[in-house]
Structure 1
């Protein structure tokens, strides 16, 4: 199944709902979700000769910020919501 690519206009529409001062990060790898800092936006031409815009992470080892918060992975539908297992009644020292 082919997914339509997000356009620059789509991204602008999505971002226009947020405060302009909020940090922008890139969520990567649905199977091991990580967050990355962004630094650059570059326009180029793809293999088919079509214009494309790339978002690039910071060129420094600290650009990967760590694991994506679980609620973000769930909102992206990369992970299923997880509920804590039900609590068992604790046993006493006498085994009751």
Structure 2
């Protein structure tokens, strides 16, 4: 990529190495990562006369699929790999 924005050509090049039958999902919001189902691709000319292509999620209630899998957030470098904290011994009912 030579520009700060990904182009359609960049996206096609990146996608060409993947399984063509795999579903495409959109990862959103690095601070609260969620997965969304894509439903539309729309071309538009912006206020500067530049053609822009938008990938949009669907309007259906099930378009947001839920939390992004942690492994995906790590692969996107939105989140570092984390380990569960060590378990502390449980206290007995008597407070000891």
Class of the TM-score when normalised by the shorter of the 2 chains: 0.7 to 0.9
TM-score (norm 2): 0.84
CA displacement 1:15-57 (0-9 Å, x = unmatched): 1111100000000001000000001111101221100000011
CA distance in structure 2 between the partners assigned to 1:89 and 1:54 by the alignment: 52
TM-score (norm 1): 0.84
**Structural RMSD (CA):** 1.9
Say how many residue pairs are matched: 92
Unaligned runs of 5+ in 2: none
Question: Structure 1: which 4+ aligned runs deviate by more than 6 Å?
Answer: 89-92
Q: How far 1:12 sits from its partner (Å)?
A: 0.5
Unaligned runs of 5+ in 1: none
